[in-house]
Chains A and B, each alone.
Chain A
């Protein structure tokens, strides 16, 4: 499999007081065609900044300091602003958590999708309208020709997210970045959107970078999982490797702290303390302040990635050599 998206050594920094702190610090990953990579982690781990960096959408004073972001073999960091604009929407699209803030409230939803098509293709208004209605039908918006003329406030959250998905897929991008796409939705609506995303992904063979904190959603959609903590990827593997054979103490703690439907009565496992703010990140392994298996060297040395299979790796000194 060749990678559609390949991110290597990405460093994105923001000013903190008088200095800059890399809130994404040396992140590398790849997503192949037709594959879903989930980037998971808690608030402030840098997963959304990674997603925004990938399409060069980092707001100032944030800045990408280092790394390469190659989409279909082209390094996006070397493109002009105009070329980058042509990449967004056509080659790579993005959907966000809150569809209301991504849609223009004074324009009908249909005209916004049609506009997205006409920005990238020379086509007539009538043709763009026809294609938009087809897309609405494809993402199962009921009465698509009527809904074309609806305003965002006339639609529910689930329908608006369907409009966003229709817009994102309008030009058959190779890469879709979905940042918490179902987090704001109720669970029965989420189930319908998850079904839709799975279907569309199969049909279009899109590479999806899924950003979420919800490991249930990850299990539903992802092929591979990368776990982020304090700006770095600490563990990466296939869905099964991470969800059932996690090796990093952070990943294991995260999984055990979920109050799942299956484990009633048992006390939830806690991860002690809180994620430190970026200015207080330790020099070595950043999880060392909360880790139950911390060793003296963890505080000063950064652990290298250790491989457990061709797809599974973790950055931790405390994982025993022999255990499987």
Chain B
């Protein structure tokens, strides 16, 4: 494995729960509760999990859009979590994010040219406005938009085209890591295919590194080299994509994969191995956090918390690992 561009260790992001007239802190939502991740340069790590597992909070914490409570975020060796806002500024250029809803992340009153050029301006890319406009045109062409449309407003574009604008804006500052937070989840499947292909081409061309946050396992298999499965604030399994899909070790990963409907008529009948709902992250179950829904639960699972177990560079957090 090549050197990791991003290495996260012991990351914790908690949100206070306040109540009463005095807004006293009465507890915490432990959205991210001890996460370790490493993404080698030029590869794609998929962070998957269901609603409320904390995957989006991981993405936001990496950009320090929310502040971590503890842990290291090492980007190219430098711990971003320890930097002050001023020292962090130059790194903001290297990590960009693309969100699920492009309409909500594009200023409706700005023209596409200015949206894409804004970051260049902030980081001093391009000598003057004319040069930046030329760069915008080149970027729009690269994401397969018509550069002649750069003076239009976001609402004049379709959902897929708007997501292309967001990608062009991210690329404008020449980032090294792009976080895609459900970037294709709101798109129709024929449009999603266009965007996924584009992201893959850009990675090959520019050597980009991706953190792909998604709930869609089909997308994961298409794009990711490694997969981390998250449940209630923790990574329960991490490994090479094919390994995870062909031989999932953790019962949660197994349940997740068994629940995905196939489009092959011969393979009908998803199995709901994992029953019930995800418990609240403000009060996660004691012991293994998955034990309340686990089909293979044992006595000790409700008392002790399983430590990460490694097989090669693949990790799973389950007591079943002890018995094999």
Contacts and interface: CB of A to CB of B under 8 A. Distances in A.
Interface stretch (A11-19, A164-172, A256-264): A256-264
A107 interface: no
A219 B189 contact: no
Which of A188, A217, A244, A257 is the most central at the interface, judged by chain B CB atoms within 10 Å of its CB? A188
A268 B221 CA distance: 12
A76 to B, nearest CB: 30
A127 interface: no
A188 B272 contact: yes
Contacts of A263: 222
Interface stretch (A55-63, A81-89, A190-198, A296-304): A190-198
Contacts of A262: 262, 264
A258 B264 contact: no
Contact of A191 (B159, B219, B222, B259): B259
A10 B151 CA distance: 41
Contacts of A260: 218, 262-264
A220 interface: yes
Nearest to A198: B269
Nearest to B277: A156
A267 B260 contact: no
B196 A259 contact: yes
B44 to A, nearest CB: 12
A243 interface: yes
A258 B50 contact: no
A262 B98 CA distance: 27
B251 to A, nearest CB: 12
B265 A258 contact: no
Given A194-B270, A264-B242, A274-B158, A215 B191 contact: no
Contacts of B268: 219-220
Interface residues on B, range: 35 or more
Contacts of A195: 270, 272
B270 A274 contact: no
B193 interface: yes
B188 A213 contact: yes
B221 A264 contact: yes
B149 interface: no
B265 A270 contact: no
Given A186-B50, A219-B268, A269-B193, A274 B160 contact: yes
A257 B190 contact: yes
A65 B194 CA distance: 37
Contacts of B160: 274
Nearest to A257: B193
Contacts of A142: 276
A78 interface: no
A268 B222 contact: yes
B265 A243 contact: yes
B275 interface: yes
Interface in A237-279: 239-240, 243-244, 253-255, 257-264, 267-271, 274-275
A187 interface: yes
Nearest to A260: B218
Contacts of A218: 263
A258 B272 contact: no
B241 A264 contact: yes
Nearest to A42: B188
A271 B255 contact: no
B208 interface: no
Please list the 6 inter-chain residue pairs (A to B) with the smallest Cβ-Cβ separation, ordered nearest first. Answer: A216-B261, A257-B193, A191-B259, A186-B50, A259-B222, A271-B190
25 contacts: A42-B190, A142-B276, A156-B278, A186-B50, A186-B215, A187-B260, A188-B256, A188-B293, A189-B50, A191-B258, A219-B268, A239-B265, A243-B263, A257-B189, A257-B192, A258-B218, A258-B263, A259-B196, A259-B222, A259-B223, A261-B217, A261-B245, A264-B221, A264-B245, A268-B196
Interface of A: 42-43, 142, 156, 158-159, 186-192, 194-195, 213-220, 239-240, 243-244, 253-255, 257-264, 267-271, 274-275
Given A220-B270, A240-B265, A268-B197, 9 more contacts: A156-B277, A187-B217, A188-B274, A192-B275, A219-B263, A243-B264, A259-B218, A259-B223, A260-B262
